[in-house]
């Protein structure tokens, strides 16, 4: 399994043993799954960057690729049409290689107005259109909660990563069973 993403999946600001790939693997093993979760997160990456590297960042023997990109696009104000197009191309690239996809969504803060509405629709729309499972919001239960974030207010701390892994694990189990 591979986590294709950005700083959240790369474990920005955390020891490697507390990064999301490690914590997700632990959560899955606790559910009886013998899996290896490869981290393919690059801090600062956008959907465009993920598209540029999906061919070499996701190995051919991957039994599921969790695509967790979009947060940096949103922070940079990238046009949602571009984000959608990049994610579609990433999914198409993985499907062409017979690699199943789980799309992890991202949400824009409500103060982003119309941009937030258009951006937030991307993930559910694509999951439906491409018939791939989705985890609606990667940072569910963690975003904007100081208890679970590093001082920058964006990147989860170790406890935040644990919450993400625990929330994501059942969706991954279901996706692996498809």
Residues serving a catalytic function are 7, 152, 155
Number of Cβ atoms within 10 Å of the Cβ of 111: 7
| Distances in whole angstroms, Cα of residue 3 to Cα of each of 79, 114, 134 | 24, 29, 14
E strand or H helix at 173? helix 158-176
On the CB side of 31, how many CA atoms lie within 13 Å of its CA? 18
Q: What are φ and ψ of residue 151, in 5° steps?
A: -55, -25
């Amino acid at each position: 399994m591979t986590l294709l993403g950005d700083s959240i999946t790369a474990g920005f600001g955390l020891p490697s043993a507390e990064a999301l790939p490690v914590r997700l693997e632990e959560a899955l093993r606790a559910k009886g799954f013998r899996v290896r979760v490869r981290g393919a997160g690059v801090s600062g990456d956008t959907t465009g960057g993920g598209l540029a590297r999906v061919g070499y960042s996701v190995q051919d023997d991957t039994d599921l690729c969790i695509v967790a990109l979009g947060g940096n696009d949103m922070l940079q104000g990238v046009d949602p049409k571009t984000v959608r197009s990049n994610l579609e191309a990433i999914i198409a690239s993985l499907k062409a290689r017979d690699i199943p996809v789980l799309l992890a969504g991202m949400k824009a803060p409500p103060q982003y107005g119309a941009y937030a509405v258009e951006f937030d629709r991307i993930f559910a729309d694509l999951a439906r259109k491409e018939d791939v499972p989705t985890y609606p919001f990667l940072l569910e239960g963690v975003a904007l909660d100081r208890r679970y974030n590093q001082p920058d207010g964006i990147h989860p701390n170790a406890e935040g990563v644990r919450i993400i892994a625990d929330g994501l694990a059942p969706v991954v189990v279901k996706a692996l069973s498809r």
